[in-house]
Chain A
Amino acid sequence: MSLWEYANPVKFMRTSRALLPWFWGLTLVSLAVGLVWGFFLTPEAENFGSTVKIIYVHVPSALMAINAWLMMLVTSLIWLIRRHHVSALAARAAAPIGLTMTVIALITGAIWGEPMWGTYWAWDPRLTSFLILFLFYLGYIALWEAIENPDAAADLTSVLCLVGSVFAILSRYAVNFWNQGLHQGATMSLDKEENIANVYWLPLVITMVAFGLLFVTLVLVRTRTEIRARRIKALIARERMG
Chain B
Amino acid sequence: MIPDLGKYAGAVLSSYAISLGLLILLVAFSVWRAARVRRQLEEVEARRKSDV
Contacts and interface: CB of A to CB of B under 8 A. Distances in A.
Interface of A: 35, 39-40, 44, 49-51, 53-54, 57-58, 61, 96-97, 100, 103-104, 107-108, 111-112, 114-115, 214, 218, 221-222, 224-225, 228-229, 231-232, 235-236, 239
Contacts of B8: 49-51, 115
Interface string B22-40: 1101110011011001101
B30 A221 contact: yes
B48 A51 contact: no
Contacts of A229: 37
A214 B41 contact: no
- Among B8, B20, B25, chain A packs the most CB atoms within 10 A around the CB of B8
Contact of B34 (A58, A224, A231): A224
B44 A218 contact: no
Given A58-B15, A100-B23, A214-B23, 5 more contacts: A49-B6, A50-B9, A54-B15, A57-B20, A96-B26
20 contacts: A50-B4, A50-B6, A51-B11, A53-B5, A53-B16, A57-B19, A57-B20, A96-B26, A100-B22, A100-B26, A103-B22, A108-B18, A114-B11, A115-B8, A222-B30, A228-B40, A232-B40, A232-B44, A235-B41, A239-B48
